[in-house]
């Protein structure tokens, strides 16, 4: 195979970094503007940690490390490009090659694969020998804002960025599938760091919805550390017994609060 052209490597790196950064700033920026600024008084009853005031002092830390993570994501883009150039991936261009049913199935499969990957790598990073080196940076925010969505130590960022390079080696994926997955991932990640609970109070009593995680779920992880490791879904925490014992009670307390006449 011909040597990869260096200028293409740089183009891929800056494109992947730029797209990742735009996605982060868009979703986190909208969420922060809406819930931490415009609607913070109106929705104060849905503020999860009522015993803690809104603290903006760690936002610079959250943004700094999130932007550093975008550089790692850019490197992941270069890795995928390189592997594709070497013929190692199962990426395909024409949706008709596998059909629409597989296109949607592969999106679901990628989400489920990431959910499993995240739970176990996340739980591993809470091991005492790894936590300070890999994961403490993210836990500086014990009541995180949307800006904390990607606030990772570079070591952790490499782990988080690994999901797509691994996936393209394992099963056929279209570029649009990956794009939709990244949008979904960013949205749910920002939601988990919102610090406000948006779901209705009976959400966890529904036999189907209870399997989906909430903002309260991940917010409690930031507060208590050794529980609630899941990302999108709650089954791994349920199966492994790692849900916080007061998760449902806390969720129902947050969602049952009455809004005061002043909105506060």
- Position 4 scores a pLDDT of 56
* DSSP SS3 for 195: coil
Q: Would you say residue 2 has pLDDT above 70? A: no
pTM of the model: 0.93
Q: Would you say residue 250 has pLDDT above 60? A: yes
How far from 134 is each of 137, 208, 219, CA to CA, in Å? 7, 34, 19
Rounded to whole angstroms, the Cα distance separating 59 from 66 reads 10
Question: DSSP letter string over 90-158?
Answer: -EES-GGGT-HHHHHHHHHHHHHHHHHHHHHHHHHHTSHHHIIIIIHHHHT-SS--GGGGG---HHHHH
Q: Would you say residue 262 has pLDDT above 80? A: no
Q: Which residue in 92, 79, 76, 89 sits closest to 4, CA to CA? A: 79
Q: 66 or 1: whose pLDDT is higher?
A: 66
pLDDT digits (tens, 9 = 90+) for 187-202: 999 999 999 999 999 9
Contact 123, 242 (CB under 8 A): yes
Segment 236-264 mean pLDDT? 88
Q: Would you say residue 264 has pLDDT above 90? A: no
Segment 88-94 mean pLDDT? 98
Rounded to whole angstroms, the Cα distance separating 221 from 228 reads 5
Token readout for 208 is 């189907």
- Position 1 scores a pLDDT of 44
Question: What is Dmax (Cα atoms) for the chain?
Answer: 70
Q: Which helix (H) or strand (E) holds 202?
A: none
């Amino acid at each position: 195979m011909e040597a990869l052209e260096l200028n293409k490597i740089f183009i891929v790196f800056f494109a992947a970094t730029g797209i990742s950064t735009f996605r982060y700033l868009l979703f986190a920026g909208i969420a922060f503007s809406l819930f931490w600024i415009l609607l913070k008084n109106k929705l104060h009853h849905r503020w999860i940690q009522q015993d803690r005031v809104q603290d903006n002092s760690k936002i610079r830390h959250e943004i700094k490390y999130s932007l550093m993570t975008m550089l790692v994501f850019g490197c992941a883009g270069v890795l995928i490009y390189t592997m594709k150039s070497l013929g190692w991936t199962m990426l395909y261009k024409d949706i008709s090659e596998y059909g629409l049913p597989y296109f949607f199935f592969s999106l679901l499969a990628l989400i489920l694969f990431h959910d499993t990957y995240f739970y176990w790598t996340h739980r591993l990073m809470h091991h005492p020998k790894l936590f300070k080196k890999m994961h403490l940076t993210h836990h500086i925010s014990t009541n995180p804002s949307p800006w904390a969505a990607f606030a990772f130590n570079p070591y952790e960022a490499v782990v988080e960025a690994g999901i797509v390079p691994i996936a393209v080696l394992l099963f056929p994926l279209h570029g649009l599938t990956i794009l939709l997955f990244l949008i979904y991932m960013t949205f749910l990640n920002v939601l988990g760091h919102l610090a406000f609970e948006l779901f209705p109070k009976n959400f966890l009593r529904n036999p189907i919805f209870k399997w989906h995680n909430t903002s309260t779920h991940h917010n409690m992880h930031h507060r208590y550390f050794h529980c609630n490791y899941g990302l999108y879904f709650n089954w791994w925490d349920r199966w492994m017994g790692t849900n916080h014992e007061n998760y449902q009670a806390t969720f129902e307390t947050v969602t049952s609060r009455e809004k005061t006449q002043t909105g506060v």
